[in-house]
């Protein structure tokens, strides 16, 4: 194919105050740079928008450096190699890399990985077989120390991570899997499509702790937290002694203009001897092969299902897809189709 001289990418125009808006982003037309030694040029086909990206829009230090104003955003993307200056990749290879939010990416060969489109649709490598899936697998089994027979509660359970967590728990022998989601349709999806034993709409009348107690009257053993706030407080109330909390995300607080408050009942962790542990998927790369083999096998056997919300229309749609994801517009993984 003919590679254009210029292409589009999305820059951070300003830092958001609360929920991001269109004016926080800018579309830029930039020169497509030919790959130097050890680099490849990738035509991006799909890109990911993820909750963690919201934190990088703030000018604060964290586990990932903040996005810079006037510079392109980045994140997971999968695409086709159109030029190669590396012996490791050939033109036509499909690769996963970290320079999304642009139509073409010049990527170091060390920062790209081949994926097999014959094993799964390439979009799956950004979701169920990518970072969200590994987060679910490592978080539940290693960080959460899941045991057969556990009662597991997953917040944000219809999202890219939560949906996989609940299904792995079920397949590994949980005695009960409970999820929360933000619409009746998502609640139905969790139970009827993904095999959760029970689920509730956290926007229904009454506090989260009330809904959870009704579905787990004898308590829970493991809480996988994607939401934070009231959900974490409810889980601390219902956790049994020596239970585990996997602190994966706190999306309910990412766009708060005021300072986030912690759970009022954190002291419950003392008397119950609970383990609360944060996690990042980057710490668990050693599990990748095991994860791909087990989860990929379940997908092939029809035992584990995944859902994608794909926004078409190219890179210009990435900002609206990102904001939509933060507001819960997606079921499963939110993706942008670039080509």
pLDDT tens digits for range 161-212? 999 999 999 999 999 999 999 999 999 999 999 999 999 999 999 999 999 9
Question: What confidence tens digit (pLDDT) does each residue in 258-267 have?
Answer: 766 779 999 9
Same domain (yes/no): 144, 122: no
- So what's the pLDDT on residue 91? 98
pLDDT digits (tens, 9 = 90+) for 250-284: 988 877 777 667 799 999 999 999 999 999 999 99
The residue count for the chain: 339
Mean pLDDT calculated for residue range 146-170: 98
- Give residue 64's pLDDT: 84
Assess whether 277 and 146 both reside in one domain: yes
CATH number for the domain that contains residue 214: 3.40.50.720
Q: What per-residue confidence (pLDDT) applies to 15?
A: 97
Residue 294 placed within a domain: no
41 shares its domain with 102: yes
- The per-residue pLDDT for 321 is 97
- Please enumerate in sequence order all residues whose Cβ is within 8 A of that of 336, keeping only pairs 6 or more positions apart, or say none: 46, 47, 48, 49, 310, 311, 313, 314, 315, 317, 318, 321
Q: Are residues 272 and 145 in the same domain?
A: yes
Do the domain assignments include residue 186? yes
Q: How confident is the model at residue 21, as a pLDDT?
A: 94
Q: How far apart are CA 287 and CA 140, in angstroms?
A: 12
DSSP 121-188: -GGGGGTTTSHHHHHHHHIIIIIS---TT-EEEESSTTBHHHHHHHHHHHHTT-SEEEEEESSHHHHH
**Any domain includes 288:** no
The arithmetic mean of pLDDT across residues 226-244, rounded, is 97
Overall average pLDDT of the 94-101 stretch: 98
Q: Is the pLDDT of residue 6 over 90?
A: yes
Q: How many domains does the chain have?
A: 2
Helix (H/G/I), strand (E/B), else coil: 73: coil
Q: Identify whether residues 51 and 188 lie together within a single domain.
A: no
Q: How far apart are CA 208 and CA 154, in angstroms?
A: 12
* Pair (153, 204) in one structural domain: yes
In a domain, 300, yes or no: no
Q: What tokens were used for 202? A: 């956290």
For 200, the 3-state DSSP assignment is strand
139: in domain: yes
pLDDT given at position 308: 97
State what percent of residues in the chain have pLDDT above 90: 93
115-136: average pLDDT: 95
The mean pLDDT value for 36-44 works out to 98
Domain shared by 102 and 20, yes or no: yes
Least confident of 11-25, 108-122, 246-260: 246-260
**The domain spanning residue 44 has which CATH number?**
3.90.180.10
Query: What 3-state class would DSSP assign to 240?
Result: strand
- Same domain flag for 255 and 330: no
Is the pLDDT at 242 greater than 90, yes or no?
yes
Please write the tens of the pLDDT for every residue from 312-334. 999 999 999 999 999 999 999 99
Interval 109-131 mean pLDDT: 95
pLDDT tens, position by position, 52-71: 999 999 998 888 899 999 99
Does some domain include residue 190? yes
- CA 307/CA 98 separation, integer angstroms: 22
Q: Are residues 102 and 239 in the same domain?
A: no
Specify the pLDDT at position 262: 76
Range of the domain at 26: 6-127+306-337
DSSP string, 251-312: GGGTT-SSPP---TTTTHHHHTT-EEEE--GGGGGGGHHHHHHHHHHHHHTTSS---EEEE-
Query: What mean pLDDT is predicted for residues 25-36?
Result: 98
Lowest mean pLDDT among 81-90, 116-125, 141-150, 180-189: 116-125
What is the model's pLDDT at position 310? 98
Chain-wide mean pLDDT for the chain? 96
- Asked if residue 111 and residue 88 are part of one domain, the reply reads yes
pTM: 0.92
Q: In the prediction, which pLDDT does 1 show?
A: 77
């Amino acid at each position: 194919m003919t590679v254009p001289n210029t292409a589009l990418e999305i820059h951070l125009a300003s830092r958001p105050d609360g929920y991001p808006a269109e004016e926080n982003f800018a579309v830029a037309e930039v020169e497509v740079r030919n790959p130097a030694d050890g680099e490849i040029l990738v035509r991006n086909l799909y890109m990911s928008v993820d909750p963690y990206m919201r934190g990088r829009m703030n000018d604060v230090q964290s586990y990932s450096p903040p996005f810079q104003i006037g510079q392109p955003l980045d994140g997971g993307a999968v695409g086709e190699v159109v030029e190669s200056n590396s012996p490791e990749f050939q033109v036509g290879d499909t690769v996963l890399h970290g320079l999304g939010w642009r139509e073409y990416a010049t990527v170091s060969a060390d920062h790209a990985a081949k994926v097999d489109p014959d094993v799964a649709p390439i979009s799956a490598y950004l979701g169920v077989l990518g970072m969200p899936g590994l987060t679910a697998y490592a978080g539940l089994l290693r960080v959460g120390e899941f045991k057969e027979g556990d009662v597991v509660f997953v917040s944000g359970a219809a999202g890219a991570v939560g949906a996989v967590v609940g299904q792995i728990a079920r397949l590994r022998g949980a005695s009960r899997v409970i999820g929360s989601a933000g619409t009746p349709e998502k609640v139905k999806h969790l139970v009827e499509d993904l095999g959760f034993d029970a689920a509730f709409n956290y926007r229904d009348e009454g506090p989260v702790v009330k809904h959870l107690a009704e579905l787990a009257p004898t308590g829970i053993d493991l809480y996988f937290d994607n939401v934070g706030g009231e959900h974490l407080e409810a889980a601390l109330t219902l956790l049994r002694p020596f239970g585990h909390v996997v602190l994966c995300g706190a999306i309910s607080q990412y766009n708060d203009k005021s300072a986030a408050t912690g759970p009022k009942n954190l002291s419950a962790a003392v008397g119950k001897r609970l383990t609360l542990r944060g996690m990042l998927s980057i710490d668990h790369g050693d599990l990748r092969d095991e994860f791909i083999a087990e989860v990929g096998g379940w997908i092939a056997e029809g035992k584990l299902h995944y859902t994608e919300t794909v926004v078409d229309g190219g890179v210009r749609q990435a900002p609206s897809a990102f904001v939509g994801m933060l507001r819960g517009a997606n079921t499963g993984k939110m993706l942008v189709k670039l080509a």
